[in-house]
Amino acid sequence: MPEYEHNIEVHGLSTWFGKKHILKDITCYFRDNTVTAIMGPSGCGKSTLLRTLNRLNDLVPSFRRKGEVLFKGTDIYGVGTSVYDLRKHIGMVFQKPNPFPMSVFDNVTYGPKLHGVKDEDELNKIVETSLRKAALWDEVKDELQSPAPNLSGGQQQRLCIARALSVDPPVLLMDEPVSALDPISAAKIEELIIELKQDYTIILVTHNVQQAFRVSDQAAFLYLGELVEFDETKRILEAPADSRTEAFITGRIG
Amino acid sequence: MTMTEENETITMQEEEQIHSWHSQLLRNISKSLHDFRMADRPGKVDMLGKWGLFIPAVASTLIIVLILAFLWFESVPILVDPSGGPGIVVSPTWDPNRDLFGIAIFIVGSLLCAGIAIGLAVPLGIGGAIFLSEFCPMRLRQPIKMIIEMMAAIPSIVYGLWAYLVLVPIIKNNIAPITQSPTNGLSLLAGGLILAIMLLPTVVTISTDALQTVPLSLREASLALGATQSETSRKIVLSAALPGVGAAVVLSLGRAVGETMAVLMVTGNSLQIPYSLFDPTYVMTSIITNQLGYAFVFPLWRSALFAVGLVLLIMSICFTLTAKLFIRWGMKTRGYI
Amino acid sequence: MLKNGESESILYRLYALSGLKDALKSRRHFSDYIFKVILGLVIIIIVSPFFLILFQVAGVGFWQVFGTGPGQGLEFLFTFPGAGLEGGIRNAFVGTVELIVVASAVGIPLSVCGAIYINEYTRPGHVRGIVEFTSDVLAGIPSIVFGAFGFVFLVDFLHIGMGIIAGSLTLAFMMIPTILRTTQEALRAVPMSLREASLALGATKWSTTWNVTLRAAFPGVITGFLLAIGRVMGETAPLIFTAGNSLIVPTELAGPGSWIASMPYTIWAYISDPREYLQVKAHGTALALMIMVLAIDLIANLISRKVTRRLV
């Protein structure tokens, strides 16, 4: 029995960009094998929260933080943590598909190669499993060497998911992964997310209440940097406890 | 009575004529005034603007055509002369007194100098560009960029002055003794070094711009996979910016071959193919600068110098074309440059 | 492992600032750190020639430009060459200014009109492609080729003869691509909505272009002028066979009376001369030229930065 309860826990997290207070004292946790949706109107800090979880905000010089983010029981901002190893364990998929300007194969092997996988057979295996998991294998298996930017938008995004899965992270962060796609590709990716939750802890930032309802098991509602509600998605959407949540769900704030 | 009538009729006719003449003039004037006033409506002046501006627009095209034409016609005598011919580009002997006009040594000299300069400036320049675009603290970035832009603005004669008075003695007294090469410092190495220094601003500036157009999301994707910043900048940013960096390299190669004053002052200008870094050399731009003044009354000599100019021109056009191809490649494969 | 409270101490902060904290975590952290340090050194190598050159030129030439003795300071710029260190470089200073003024008078209208034509009156396609391509080619042509062309076309073929006209026309040819492309960039940056607003008020394309578009693009256009002027001001090679040289300021438009000196040419002539006082004068001229060119470049920089800041 591990000493931690959930893969990722957030304790009293506050963040600032310069003088701007973005997140205000957030405490929540993300269960394993669950999709957690982070909802909220634009500018409420949901992307910031997500990026704090894999320390991608470290790149912003004016970023400051207080509070703890625990990954498997250790503080990811602690002195002993290697940020590069951390990011290996916490994968991320971005809003817009952003394949590297190289072949499909190289896109998927980029991560494993960084972390020391050199064996050709192993890399081939990783490519196949990752692409299969991302439901892309059948579409691209014959053109693994073609440049990734030539794929369609939906395929590119699934490739990005495969790329994130290639280093086998237990946690997957998704920053509005379908908002830049057409409805059909979006539906495919939503399906994929539901499938993936069997093996991964998925944290999904979304702007879209319906999507949260379809995909997620638990949800956090952020408003102006405050965590307003955090509970089962069904409960929040059916009987919001806070008037702000209700306003968001019914479309009065967004 | 009749007289008056006649008179009247004449005057009336005259008046009518005068009147019609007047009115025609008036009508003409008012029409052109009207046109001028109505010029503010679509139509005539727009057409005037269109064609009046067309000529300045093609000025640069015209100048290129003229340069090509004049260099070509000036080069024809040596190219059709039995002692010359197109073979001069591979013939190594330049001796105007014996009507030998081989320009191979100048081409070799130029390429060697440019090669050394590129070999030094490209790795350093790309490194500097990566530093500026990826790692440089915000507070330092602007001042450094400004200094580098100023370096690009320093006249080449000033670089030449510095190289002649500082770099050449250093090579003579401090660097050459290491290999015990006899040299007065005026050498291929001096030319290559000063050229490298002069190219660095170009390489850095264009490469930095190319690196900065690489979308942030690619960097984030790489970092999110656990890449370090240096891995990201080498494997993702640099490869994504490759077309732009390639264009920077080709453009600076063009500048290296075409640079005149600084190289002229430090390469020693000796009619030989250099076999070591400390040998003097003679580049294409230098031979034109040094000899056109004397040669212009000797048809063949003068023509051979213009042939050198033609080679320079063709090379620079090729470099510009290649740079454009790099940019097109970037637009095609990356969607940005 | 440090507790949260300790991480606030000054020593710890210094340690964190040096980046060593992370560098020692693993091999990959360390190589990342080394890579950054090496690139930092590279940038120092890249900018150091600027200071070395400034040190050399200002070290010898400073008193020529800023001193108050005979032949120094303003006297250096505004008296004609005299014996020894006396006298200045008025011929070269005035020559450079005159060459630039005439070259600008020809080059600026030509290239601005050209840029307006291809940006406002053509659609992307053949004409625009050809003009853009040829100006890029023109920008890449070695300056000595311009010199040789100016010599054979202007001096020889058109019988203009060496002097201020041939020299400044050659410089004007060199200015065209820079101004044309920067003006075009500036025009392109003017939002379409601005033009449409003017056209919607019933203005013609002509008046829209001159009164709205060009005015909005003006700072960018000025930047182009300055960059082009700064560039050709330091050119020697195009002038060697087209401008001649002179100890006085040109008094005629043709013939030997129109021969004209320039600062870069003067530097070249003085530096190859073994007499020491001429070397000092060469440094003084180089310093004055550098100050002029860098000042122009700096102003161009400031203007373009101000413009980008306003647009962003």
Its domain, for residue C102, covers: 90-311
Rounded to two decimals, the ipTM of the complex is 0.91
- pLDDT tens digits along A59-114: 888 899 999 999 988 899 888 788 898 999 999 999 999 999 999 999 999 999 99
Interface contact flag, C1 A80, Cβ < 8 Å: yes
Q: Which residue out of C28, C29, C31, C39 would a mutagenesis test of the B interface target, given it has the greatest number of B Cβ atoms within 10 Å?
A: C39
pLDDT at residue B13 in the model = 52
Q: Is the pLDDT of residue C22 over 90?
A: no
| Closest listed residue to residue A201, CA positions, set A236, A174, A237 | A174
- Domain of residue A236, CATH code: 3.40.50.300
* Pairwise CA distance, residues C101 & C107, whole Å: 10
Torsions phi, psi for C163 (to 5 deg): 140, -165
How close does chain B come to A146, measured CA to CA in Å? 11
Segment 177-206 of chain B within 8 Å of chain C by CB: 197, 200, 204
SS (H, E, C) chain C: CCCCCHHHCHHHHHHHHHCHHHHCCCHHHHHHHHHHHHHHHHHHHHHHHHHHHHHHHHHHHHHHHHCCCCCCCHHHHHCCECCCCCECCHHHHHHHHHHHHHHHHHHHHHHHHHHHHHHHHCCCCHHHHHHHHHHHHHHHCCHHHHHHHHHHHHHHHCCCCCCHHHHHHHHHHHHHHHHHHHHHHHHHHCCHHHHHHHHHCCCCHHHHHHHHHHHHHHHHHHHHHHHHHHHHHCCCHHHHCCCCCCCCCCCCCCCHHHCCCCHHHHHHHHHCCCCHHHHHHHHHHHHHHHHHHHHHHHHHHHHHHHHHHHHC
What pLDDT, on the 0 to 100 scale, is given for residue B47?
65
Q: What dihedral do alpha carbons C129, C134, C140, C145 form, nearest 10°?
A: 170
CA C289 to each of CA A22, B122, B157, C97, C293: distance values in angstroms, whole numbers, following the listed order: 52, 29, 10, 11, 6
DSSP assigned state of B281: B
B15 contact C CB<8A: no
Judged by DSSP in three states, B100 sits in: strand
Considering only the beta carbons, identify the residue of A87, A96, A100 that sits closest to B226. A87
Residue that the structure tokens 């498997």 belong to: A72
Measured CA to CA, the distance from residue A164 to residue A98 in angstroms comes to 12
Q: What is the pLDDT of residue B8?
A: 47
Query: pLDDT confidence of C14, banded at 50, 70, 90?
Result: low
Do the beta carbons of residue B190 and residue B168 sit within 8 Å? yes
Distance from CA of B241 to the nearest CA of A (A): 10
- Of the two residues B38 and A231, the one the predictor is more confident about is A231
Contact C268 B58 (CB under 8 A): no
Residue of B nearest to C286 (CA): B158
Q: Which helix or strand (DSSP H or E) is residue B16 part of? A: helix B2-38
Q: Which of C179, C159, C51 is nearest to C115 (CA)?
A: C179
Query: What CA–CA distance (Å, rounded) separates C163 from C254?
Result: 7
Of A79, A80, A82, nearest to C29 by CB-CB distance is A82
What is chain B's mean pLDDT, rounded?
87
pLDDT category at C70 given cuts 50, 70, 90 is confident
Which pLDDT belongs to residue C304? 81
Phi, psi of A115 (to 5 degrees): -95, 20
Chain A residues whose CB is inside 8 A of the B236 CB are 100
Nearest residue to C282 (alpha-carbon basis) of C76, C66, C55, C49: C76
Inside any domain, residue C138? yes
Q: What is the pLDDT of residues C198-244, one digit of tens each?
A: 888 888 888 888 888 988 898 889 999 999 999 999 999 999 999 98
What percentage of chain C exceeds 70 in pLDDT? 92
List chain C residues with CB under 8 Å of B58: 114, 131
Residue with tokens 């200014």: C97
Residue B268, strand partner residues: B281
Q: What is the topology classification, in CATH, of domain B72-333?
A: MetI-like fold (1.10.3720)
Between the two ends of chain B, the Cα-to-Cα distance in Å is: 94
Name which of B171, B198, B195, B175 is nearest B185 in CA terms: B171
Q: What would the DSSP string read from start to end of chain A?
A: --S-SSSEEEEEEEEEETTEEEEEEEEEEE-TT-EEEEE-STTSSHHHHHHHHTTGGGGSTTEEEEEEEEETTEETTSTT--HHHHHHHEEEE-SS----SSBHHHHHHHHHHHTT---HHHHHHHHHHHHHHTT-HHHHTT-TTSBGGGS-HHHHHHHHHHHHHTT--SEEEEESTTTTS-HHHHHHHHHHHHHHTTTSEEEEEES-HHHHHHH-SEEEEEETTEEEEEEEHHHHHHS-SSHHHHHHHTTS--
* pLDDT band, very low/low/confident/very high, at C67 (cuts 50, 70, 90): confident
C72 touches chain B (CB under 8 A): no
- Name the average pLDDT for chain A: 90
* Mutation choice for C interface testing from B65, B161, B252, B320 by most C CBs within 10 A: B161
Cα–Cα distances in angstroms (integers) from residue B104 to residues B99, B111, C145, in the given order: 15, 11, 18
Name the residue facing C53 among B54, B158, B323 (closest C-beta): B158
pLDDT the model gives residue A145: 93
Token readout for A34 is: 């669950």
Q: How many domains does chain C have?
A: 2
In whole angstroms, how large is the CA radius of gyration of chain B?
32
In this prediction, residue C251 carries a pLDDT of 84
Q: Which two tokens stand for residue B127?
A: 């490194």
Give the 3-state secondary structure of residue B32.
Answer: helix
What residue of B is the nearest CA neighbor of A161? B221
SS3 content of chain B, % helix, strand, coil (to 5): 80, 0, 20
The answer to whether position A103 is within a domain reads: no
Is the pLDDT at C29 greater than 60? The verdict is: yes
Separation between Cα atoms, residue A167 and residue A188, nearest integer Å: 23
Q: At what angle do helices B138-153 and C27-66 cross, to 10 degrees?
A: 50
Q: Distance between CA C72 and CA C63 in Å, rounded?
A: 6
Intervals of chain B under pLDDT 70: 1-23, 25-26, 28-50, 335-337
Inter-residue contact C177 to C231 (CB < 8 Å) = no
pLDDT per position as a tens digit, C142-164: 999 999 999 999 999 999 989 99
In contact, B101 and B94? CB cutoff 8 Å: yes
The answer to whether residues A189 and A19 touch, using CB atoms and an 8 Å cutoff, is no
Residue A202 lies in a domain: yes
**pLDDT value of residue C127:** 80
How many A/C residue pairs have CB atoms within 8 Å?
15
Give residues with Cβ within 8 angstroms of C106, minimum separation 6.
Answer: C168, C169, C172
Write down the pLDDT at residue C20.
74
In a domain, C96, yes or no: yes
Do residues C45 and C122 both lie within one domain?
A: no
CA angle A163/A165/A169 to nearest 5° reads 130
Q: Is C68 a domain residue? A: no
- Residue in A139, A116, A141 with CA at minimum distance from that of residue A128: A141
Rounded Cα–Cα distance for residues C26 and C297 (Å):
46
Q: Do B160 and C203 make contact, defined as CB atoms within 8 angstroms?
A: no
Subunits in contact with chain C (3 or more CB pairs closer than 8 Å): A, B
CB C88 within 8 A of CB C76: yes
| Inside any domain, residue A107 | no
Which tens digits make up the pLDDT trace of B109-124?
999 999 999 999 999 9
Instruction: Reduce the DSSP state of residue B297 to 3 states and report it.
Output: coil
Total tally of structural domains belonging to chain A: 1
Say which range, C89-93, C110-114, C200-204, has the weakest mean pLDDT. C200-204
The Cα B26–Cα C96 span in angstroms is: 52
Q: How far apart are CA B267 and CA B284, in angstroms?
A: 12
Structure tokens at B215: 């979308």
- pLDDT band for C311, please (50, 70, 90 cuts): very low
Query: Does C71 map to a domain?
Result: no
